[in-house]
């Protein structure tokens, strides 16, 4: 952005330290000689140049004020746009918007005309481009031109944003009612909505309304069925969660039982081994007892035989 050099322009106006006596009002001369108390000429002032600088500064200040007015009006227009997009806008907003836009257009045309005049006047002036005043004036003109186009771009952007939001709102309402429109019809509806009229003309015959009502009712029943299915599915998932939790506990118990069975099996194997050893020992003992019994029986038989033999011998004598 160009630098504001208004102070430099004011400081560039020639000043004199001489004490002024009564200066004659010269109408037909371009310069005015200044003398001191002794009548010695000190310097001269170019009255026409000083007058042009003052006039230029006044015109720049006027441009600045009008640009500031456009800034204020642009903010007002933005607020009106926001209020017009509300569900129930104020009917008086349209008149306010028209008035604000008319003021902005008038100021725009005035500023544009003034800038063109300034450019034409100072483009072909007698001063050379090496002059400091010429450069300062050029910078000021460029700066005000840039500020003007910047605020106008902001104004047009607010208009485009408002139109886009209105178009989106209209399209959303058209989708809700299921109506198709052409590009020209859509533009017409959008233009009305931009002025605060959000009513959309509905041209649907009774048969279409009846069919849409039937369709909506069927969809409603489908949604109810879907809701019931979702509730049943939720209950099924709850039961499944409880079943999985119970099965988890059962699996933990089975694992505990298997672990206990493994311990008991090891004990049983040990007991079986000991039992086998005891059984073998018992069998050996039984055999020994049987042998002893047989030996005793044989001894008794031998004793009995010997006794009877002895008796017979005694009796035979």
| Structural domains of the chain, with CATH | 6-194 (1.20.58.70)
Residue-level pLDDT at 105: 92
Residue indicated by tokens 């933990």: 252
Residue-level pLDDT at 210: 78
Q: Tell me how crowded residue 189 is: count the other CB atoms within 10 A of its CB.
A: 22
Residue-level pLDDT at 87: 72
d(CA 10, CA 54): 9
Residue-level pLDDT at 109: 92
For 217-234, give one letter per residue: b (16+ CB within 10 A) or e: eeeeeeeeeeeeeeeeee
Residue-level pLDDT at 268: 82
d(CA 174, CA 207): 19
Residue-level pLDDT at 40: 40
- Mean pLDDT of residues grouped by 10 in the chain (317 residues)? 46 39 37 42 47 81 92 90 78 84 92 88 60 78 90 90 82 74 72 59 59 86 89 86 79 81 83 83 86 90 86 74
Q: What residues are paired with 33 via a beta bridge? A: 44
Do 77 and 161 form a contact (C-beta atoms < 8 A)? no
In sequence order, which residues have a C-beta less than 8 Å from that of residue 191 and are 6 or more positions away?
none
In sequence order, which residues have a C-beta less than 8 Å from that of residue 139 and are 6 or more positions away?
2, 3, 5
Say whether 179 sits in a helix, a strand or coil.
coil
Q: Tell me how crowded residue 66 is: count the other CB atoms within 10 A of its CB.
A: 18
The pTM score is 0.46
Among the listed residues 28, 159, 183, the one whose alpha carbon sits nearest the alpha carbon of residue 101: 159
Q: Tell me how crowded residue 121 is: count the other CB atoms within 10 A of its CB.
A: 14
Residue-level pLDDT at 93: 82
Residue-level pLDDT at 48: 52
∠ CA 103-104-108 to the nearest 5 degrees?
A: 120
Do 295 and 301 form a contact (C-beta atoms < 8 A)? no
């Amino acid at each position: 952005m160009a630098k504001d050099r208004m102070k430099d322009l004011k400081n560039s106006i020639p000043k004199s330290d001489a004490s002024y006596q009564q200066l004659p009002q010269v109408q037909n001369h371009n310069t005015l000689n200044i003398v001191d108390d002794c009548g010695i000429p000190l310097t001269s002032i170019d009255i026409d140049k000083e007058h042009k600088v003052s006039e230029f500064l006044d015109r720049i200040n006027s441009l600045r004020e009008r640009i500031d007015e456009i800034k204020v009006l642009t903010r007002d227009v933005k607020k009106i746009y926001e209020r017009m997009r509300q569900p129930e806008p104020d009917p008086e907003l349209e008149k306010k918007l028209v008035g604000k836009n008319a003021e902005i257009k008038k100021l725009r045309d005035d500023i544009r005309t003034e800038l063109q005049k300034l450019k034409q006047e100072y483009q072909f002036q007698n001063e050379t481009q090496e002059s400091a005043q010429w450069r300062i004036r050029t910078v000021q003109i460029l700066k005000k031109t840039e500020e003007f186009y910047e605020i106008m771009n902001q104004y047009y952007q607010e208009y485009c944003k408002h139109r886009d939001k209105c178009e989106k709102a209209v399209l959303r309402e058209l989708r809700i009612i299921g109506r198709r429109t052409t590009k020209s019809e859509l533009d017409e509806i959008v233009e009305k909505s931009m002025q605060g009229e959000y009513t959309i003309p509905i041209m649907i015959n009774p048969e279409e309304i009846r069919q849409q009502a039937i369709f909506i009712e069927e969809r409603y029943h489908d949604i109810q069925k879907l809701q019931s299915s979702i509730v049943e599915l939720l209950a099924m998932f709850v039961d499944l969660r409880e079943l999985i939790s119970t099965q988890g506990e059962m699996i933990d118990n089975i694992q505990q039982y298997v672990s206990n069975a493994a311990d008991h099996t090891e004990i049983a194997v040990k007991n079986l081994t000991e039992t086998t050893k005891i059984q073998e020992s018992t069998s050996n003992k039984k055999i020994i007892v049987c042998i002893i019994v047989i030996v005793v029986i044989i001894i008794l038989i031998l004793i009995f035989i010997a006794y009877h033999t002895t008796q017979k011998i005694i009796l035979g004598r």
